[in-house]
């Protein structure tokens, strides 16, 4: 039995935190802490619960602006005030011992010397638990907070990101692992022959180095990437060790898995050098019906007028003229909008019997991949994803906290452990250990 | 007696950490932890001891480069690998409750949106304990780590710093203190009428805002400034709430105090709105002789060949040709170098009877204002500085750790408390409370 369990592929689980729930109605759910998103004591307790449940990582999303949205939606947004990732994760590093800490940081609106330093520092402070979610920042509002009138176009952002990655990893390798001698007798603190001056001069960046910090415990913090576009997939194949993706179905997951993992050999990487962890919204109930009812309750807390636009976009049709409390008409005129998006909405409306209002609230709340059911049905679904190579695990999106997190930590995780799909305890101390990733060799010192 | 004590002017004490000792020989001192500068467990214990001793703040210096120095000096430098300030201080915030946390951050090589966000986040995470030491970064090596061939000239850096300060403080004021309603029933999270869009367009900076974080608990984190030059003093008068300065004598302290505090009225500020805290190197012994011996022992751990250049600069004369173990000749030929610097060296040589080697090691170790003696003699000197208006307290530089810090925390502080010169306990919770500084009003909301 134990032997059989060992043969099973293991799930990897991140907690995708914004820094609490991505769902726009989460803060209003009965029993939720309305200020949790901006309350360190709550976030600390969530991180400690995730660690007790042996999650691989606490993964923090980020934005570099207050999102530009109509005032009716804006004033309902519980993420308008958020902690900055480096400061929050460094505080969490001091009150946790094992869980990985992944921060989102932009290559478009920051400097590689700062980014390399802060991640190296977080990795040292946490004993090797840092990860860098590389983003190029898609939100054009950010540009105007950083002295730019125009947001750079997509290809340009990705070219800079690729060079930025080379510079940051080069800076992390400024010192050999054994550079620091600290010989009190002779007074020699380190060996300058084991310090590398990067002296990078590229198309976008000019950075001399060396970094003023020892090589991170993990060699390099774990590289996370979320691009879905063609340049995003290629950047991921070349650089990413964790890919955060958003397929809505197992079929879509398998397609993405095959495509991105298939690019690895060409760049000299192993299939196990990258873990694919899609976002998964998880709602647990004692029965499937109870879980579905929880979700409908949560969705009902989303403001209808602010979310109807999301439904219109998904449908390719102005949904604001429809009867909110009636069913979605099946004979909407065809438009040029995405056929698959429209079919998805129609299928959802039929499967769950949702009204126009409920559909809008679903799209305004959270409409990505979701596992809604009992611990058994959800564990079944998760298992299928890894057995069928749809993913290597998930970045869990919690519907509401603390209850939604407690349901996963206290009920789903034990079920996954019983099935031999998830660790009983951490086997190592670093995020690389948890993810089964190699420690990269130093580019300049062997 | 209690009443009389209350009338005494109170000392304010910061701990100036780099992040441990500034003295280049500190890591070699018997009993010191050679790796303390880069060991979070040690730094955490130092911060907790400083908090137990009721220090106002832990003040962290910073550099944005490995300093360019000859290899013989470089390989002896225990600060070549250091934590990054935001990450270190955020970790310390989670393991302390009252002590202020001051981070150095550059206006020349960072973006105001990032700086405003990180300090606001640190202030929220620490419950109102953050301070910003504004520097323009004098070290030209930094430029080349940030894509610049040329370091900006001094006046240009200060002009940018002044505008940068306006932008950062404006971003901190993005939300009124009562903007966040979090009304679960209506679903209204905050009042957009209480959010201000800065839309700054100046000579150097273009920043739209708003900041995506609530106003800091302190309104603004405490503004610290260390400029000694004419533009530095003026920037301090206009903006600084703590001035970090480096007079070597009480007379010089009084001159600086009078000059900088004298500039406040013209900009509409009160004399108490700014605290002057010079750096003070403190060595405690059971006798004055023991304290002096400790200092000589520490200085002897400085590499002579690497420190002779510092002595040459102070003297305005090449000191490398002199007999290291003989006295300093009193008949050195006059040069164009600073007369006061030369006189200072001659006076020091005469007073303490130091050899050329010992003088070099003093200048290569730490040669600023120092109080070296028993708890009584040091307390006497500190008291004179505040009675005679040389300062409002000090930023203590520790000679070596942990012992030098323990001597101050366990012996000097109780003596200052007995004299009614220093708090027995924190009276408030924020760094502004400790320093007796007002909470600034919001520029856009009353």
Mean pLDDT computed over every residue of chain A: 94
Residues in chain B within 8 Å Cβ distance of A71: 192
Average of per-residue pLDDT across B349-354: 94
Q: What tens digit of pLDDT does each residue of B364-414 get?
A: 999 999 999 999 999 999 999 999 999 999 999 999 999 999 999 999 999
- Identify which of B77, B84, B212 has the shortest CB distance to residue A65: B212
> Largest Cα–Cα distance of chain B, in whole Å?
85
How many beta-carbon pairs below 8 A join chains A and B? 201
pLDDT above 60 for A259? yes
**Contact state of B81 with A114 under an 8 Å Cβ cutoff:** no
Q: What tens digit of pLDDT does each residue of B185-209 get?
A: 999 999 999 999 999 999 999 999 9
**Contact state of A117 with B210 under an 8 Å Cβ cutoff:** no
Whole-number pLDDT of residue B149: 75
Mean pLDDT computed over every residue of chain B: 94
pLDDT above 50 for B363? yes
CATH topology of domain A2-174+201-285+374-435: TIM Barrel (3.20.20)
Antiparallel, parallel or unpaired: β B242-245 and A275-276: unpaired
**Contact state of A187 with B76 under an 8 Å Cβ cutoff:** yes
- Identify which of B121, B188, B208 has the shortest CB distance to residue A83: B121
Q: Which residue has the tokens 């692992």?
A: A177
Least confidently predicted of A55-69, A167-181, A422-436, B223-237? B223-237
**Contact state of B144 with A207 under an 8 Å Cβ cutoff:** yes
Hey, what are B250's tokens? 């009480």
Average of per-residue pLDDT across A315-331: 92
Residues in chain A within 8 Å Cβ distance of B71: 192
Whole-number pLDDT of residue A1: 44
Q: Does A271 touch chain B (CB under 8 A)?
A: no
Q: Does B151 touch chain A (CB under 8 A)?
A: no
Give the closest residue to B57 by CA, choosing from B101, B19, B18, B17. B101
Average of per-residue pLDDT across A391-403: 97
Antiparallel, parallel or unpaired: β B180-183 and B188-190: antiparallel
Residues in chain A within 8 Å Cβ distance of B122: 87
Tell me where in chain B the CATH 3.20.20.30 domain(s) lie.
9-285+374-435
- Identify which of B44, B77, B189 has the shortest CB distance to residue A76: B189
Whole-number pLDDT of residue A196: 98
Q: Does A91 touch chain B (CB under 8 A)?
A: yes
Q: Does A301 touch chain B (CB under 8 A)?
A: yes
Whole-number pLDDT of residue B139: 81
Under the banding of pLDDT at 50, 70 and 90, the label for residue A400 is: very high
Whole-number pLDDT of residue A337: 63
Under the banding of pLDDT at 50, 70 and 90, the label for residue A6 is: low
Q: Does B27 touch chain A (CB under 8 A)?
A: yes
CA distance A360 to A367: 10
Average of per-residue pLDDT across A340-352: 89
CATH architecture for the domain at B9-285+374-435: Alpha-Beta Barrel (3.20)
- Supply angle C-alpha A292, A296, A301, rounded to 5: 150
Q: What tens digit of pLDDT does each residue of B276-305 get?
A: 999 999 999 999 999 999 999 999 999 999
Residues in chain B within 8 Å Cβ distance of A125: 40, 83, 87-88, 91
Give the chain A residue whose CA is nearest to the CA of B192. A75
Q: What tens digit of pLDDT does each residue of B13-69 get?
A: 999 998 788 999 999 999 999 999 999 999 999 999 999 999 999 999 999 999 888
Q: Does B180 touch chain A (CB under 8 A)?
A: yes
> How remote is the C-alpha of A75 from its chain's centroid?
25
Under the banding of pLDDT at 50, 70 and 90, the label for residue B1 is: very low
Whole-number pLDDT of residue B337: 63
- Identify which of A90, A120, A301 has the shortest CB distance to residue B187: A301
Q: Provide long-range contacts, Cβ within 8 A and 24+ apart, for A412-416.
A: A412/A282, A412/A284, A412/A375, A412/A378, A412/A379, A413/A53, A413/A54, A415/A375, A415/A376, A415/A379, A416/A11, A416/A379, A416/A382
Tell me where in chain A the CATH 3.20.20.30 domain(s) lie.
2-174+201-285+374-435
Hey, what are A164's tokens? 């930025």
Strand partners, A59: A16, A102
Whole-number pLDDT of residue B6: 55
Mutate to test the interface with A, among B23, B43, B81 (most CBs of A within 10 A): B81
- Identify which of B35, B65, B146 has the shortest CB distance to residue A111: B146
CA distance B292 to B295: 5
Q: Provide long-range contacts, Cβ within 8 A and 24+ apart, for B266-271.
A: B266/B237, B267/B237, B267/B238, B269/B237
Judged by DSSP in three states, A28 sits in helix
Write the ipTM. Answer: 0.96
Residue A74, min C-alpha distance to chain B (Å): 8
Whole-number pLDDT of residue A338: 67
Residues in chain A within 8 Å Cβ distance of B189: 27, 34, 75-78, 80
Give the chain A residue whose CA is nearest to the CA of B86. A87
Least confidently predicted of B63-77, B82-96, B333-347? B333-347
Element (H, E) at B188: strand B188-190
Residues in chain A within 8 Å Cβ distance of B94: 44, 91-95
**B320 close to B308: Cβ distance less than 8 angstroms:** yes
Where are any strands of DSSP class E within A116-255?
130-135, 180-183, 188-190, 200-201, 206-207, 222-225, 242-243
The residue ranking higher by pLDDT, A58 or B333, is A58
């Amino acid at each position: 039995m134990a032997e059989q369990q060992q043969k099973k592929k293991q799930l990897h689980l991140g907690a995708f935190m914004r820094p609490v729930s991505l769902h726009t109605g989460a803060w209003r759910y009965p029993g939720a802490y309305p200020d949790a998103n901006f309350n360190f004591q709550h976030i600390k307790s969530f991180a400690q619960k995730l660690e007790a449940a042996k999650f691989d990582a606490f993964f923090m999303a980020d934005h570099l602006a207050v999102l530009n949205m109509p005032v009716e939606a804006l004033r309902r947004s519980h993420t308008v005030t958020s902690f900055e990732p480096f400061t929050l994760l460094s505080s969490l590093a001091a009150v946790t011992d094992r869980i990985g800490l992944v921060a989102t940081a932009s290559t478009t609106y920051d400097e590689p010397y700062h980014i390399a330093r802060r991640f190296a520092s977080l990795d040292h402070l946490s004993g090797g638990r840092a990860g860098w979610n590389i983003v190029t920042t898609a939100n054009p509002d950010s540009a105007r907070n950083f002295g730019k009138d125009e947001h750079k176009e997509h290809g340009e952002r990705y070219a800079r990101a690729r060079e930025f990655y080379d510079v940051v990893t080069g800076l992390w390798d400024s010192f050999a692992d054994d550079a620091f001698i600290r010989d009190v007798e002779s007074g020699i603190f380190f060996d300058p022959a084991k310090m590398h001056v990067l002296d990078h001069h590229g198309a976008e960046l000019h950075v001399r180095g060396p970094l003023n910090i020892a090589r991170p415990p993990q060699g390099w913090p774990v590289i996370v990437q979320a691009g879905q576009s063609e340049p995003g997939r290629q950047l991921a194949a070349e650089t990413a060790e964790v890919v955060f993706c958003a397929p809505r179905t197992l079929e879509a997951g398998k397609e993405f898995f095959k495509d991105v993992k298939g690019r690895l050999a060409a760049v000299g990487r192993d299939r196990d050098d990258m873990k694919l962890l899609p976002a998964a919204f998880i709602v647990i109930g004692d029965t499937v019906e109870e879980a579905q009812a929880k979700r409908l309750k949560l969705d009902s807390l989303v403001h209808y007028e602010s979310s109807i636009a999301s439904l219109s976009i998904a449908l390719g049709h102005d949904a604001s003229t429809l009867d909110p409390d009636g069913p979605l008409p099946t004979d909407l005129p065809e438009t040029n909008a995405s056929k698959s998006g429209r079919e998805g909405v129609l299928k959802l409306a039929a499967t769950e019997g949702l009204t126009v209002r409920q559909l809008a609230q679903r799209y305004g709340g959270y409409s990505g991949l979701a596992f809604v059911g009992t611990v058994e049905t959800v564990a079944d679904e998760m298992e299928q994803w890894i057995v069928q190579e749809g993913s290597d695990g998930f970045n869990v999106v919690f519907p509401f906290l603390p209850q939604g997190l407690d349901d996963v930590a206290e009920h789903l995780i034990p079920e996954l452990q019983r099935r031999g799909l998830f660790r009983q305890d951490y086997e190592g101390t670093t995020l690389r250990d948890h993810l089964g990733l190699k420690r990269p060799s130093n580019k300049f010192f062997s």
